[in-house]
Amino acid sequence: MRRVTAIAVRAAVGILALVMLSPLLWAAFASVKRGFDVRRAPFSIPDAPSVESYRDAIAGGLLAAMGHSALITALSVAIVVVLASLAAYAFARLTFPGRAVLRTLILAGMMVPVHAVLIPLFIMASRTQVSGQWYSLIGPYVAFALPLSVLLLTAYFADVPKELEDAARLDGCSDLGIWWHVVLPMSRVGLLTVAILQGVWIWNEYPMALVLLTGSWKTLPLSLAEFRGEHTANWSAILAAVIIVATPMLTLFFLFQKVIMRGMTEGALKG
């Protein structure tokens, strides 16, 4: 019975995984069709695969937008990891007035929807004359990524043995030295989990990029939106662009899926 149950569970999980992957698989098949074939027979296997749609996607400025997104994502994630790890170490290990109130205020940021701040962000960016610049996105991205990052890292840092910190203090380490030499090396899984989770969100973020960016600086979601006009759409190029955009994040997920799942489950249990 146990073997039968295990086989049934694996079969159910396999079917569920196939269902979840079916849109991506369909997009991959449809992306090598010609535009007319996508509309005429969307679910058929392509008779004569063509990479014309991928050439159209690249010619539409997708690679430049990918470079822009990579730059913004890398800088934002780096700042998030540094600031969140410092805040998490303070909340997990230090005692100071207003600690609980400050932590509550930071975590309350998870309840603020992105759309509620789009107009204030646009007004602030316009008044400070950074509207349309690529770096105008970094501040909002960091602000929205910090609450969850602080929550996860606080749970990790609280689990670091205090004996190691005491030994480091005896060796003359300051709080920053302990954070750098003891806490961060022992929390690599948590740091990587935060970096990947926030990197995926920033990579795919659309509303704030639409409001704050203008001109030639476009992120990947904005570039994808341009493949569809008011009355027509190049669906084969759109699907090819979707595959190109999704490939880096899917590769990261498959490479670090065990780390991500371990980081999420351990963070939940420790929290």
Q: Residue 36 — very low, low, confident or very high, per pLDDT cuts 50/70/90?
A: low
Does 267 or 201 have the greater pLDDT score?
A: 201
Q: Check pLDDT > 60 for residue 270.
A: no
Query: What mean pLDDT comes out for the span 159-171?
Result: 86
Q: Classify residue 209 as exposed, middle or buried by CB count within 10 Å of its CB (0-12, 13-18, 19+).
A: buried
User: Alpha-carbon Rg of the chain, whole angstroms?
Assistant: 23
How far the first Cα of the chain sits from its last, in Å, is 36
Question: pTM of the prediction?
Answer: 0.82
Check residue 129 and give its pLDDT.
85
Does 61 or 108 have the greater pLDDT score?
A: 108
- Per-residue pLDDT reduced to its tens digit, 102-157: 988 988 988 888 888 999 999 998 888 888 888 899 999 999 999 999 998 998 88
What is the C-alpha to C-alpha distance for residues 240 and 251, in angstroms, rounded to an integer? 17
Check residue 269 and give its pLDDT.
47
Written as one string, the DSSP assignment of 135-183 is: GGGHHHHHHHHHHHHHHHHHHHHHTS-HHHHHHHHHTT--HHHHIIIII
Phi/psi for 51 (5° steps) reads -100, 15
123: nearest Cα among 207, 209, 206, 212: 212
Check residue 70 and give its pLDDT.
92
Q: Any residues with CB less than 8 A from the CB of 195 and at least 6 apart, and which?
A: 77, 80, 81
What is the C-alpha to C-alpha distance for residues 94 and 75, in angstroms, rounded to an integer? 28
Q: Residue 82 — very low, low, confident or very high, per pLDDT cuts 50/70/90?
A: very high
Q: Check pLDDT > 60 for residue 31.
A: yes
Task: Name the 3-class secondary structure at 213.
Answer: strand
Q: What angle do CA 250, 57, 255 make, to 5 degrees?
A: 10
The percentage of the chain sitting over the pLDDT mark of 90, rounded to a whole number, equals 23
What is the C-alpha to C-alpha distance for residues 63 and 42, in angstroms, rounded to an integer? 26
Check residue 150 and give its pLDDT.
93
Q: For residue 233, what is the DSSP state? A: B
Is CATH 1.10.3720.10 what the domain over 2-270 is classified as, yes or no?
Answer: yes
Tracing tokens 């992120």 back to the chain, one arrives at 219
- Tell whether the torsion through CA atoms of 34, 36, 37 and 42 is positive or negative: positive
What is the C-alpha to C-alpha distance for residues 18 and 227, in angstroms, rounded to an integer? 28
- Per-residue pLDDT reduced to its tens digit, 232-248: 667 778 888 888 888 88
What is the C-alpha to C-alpha distance for residues 180 and 178, in angstroms, rounded to an integer? 5
Check residue 250 and give its pLDDT.
81
Domain map of the chain by residue range? 2-270
Distance of CA 18 to the CA centre of its chain: 23
Check residue 249 and give its pLDDT.
80
For 159, the token pair is 């689990």
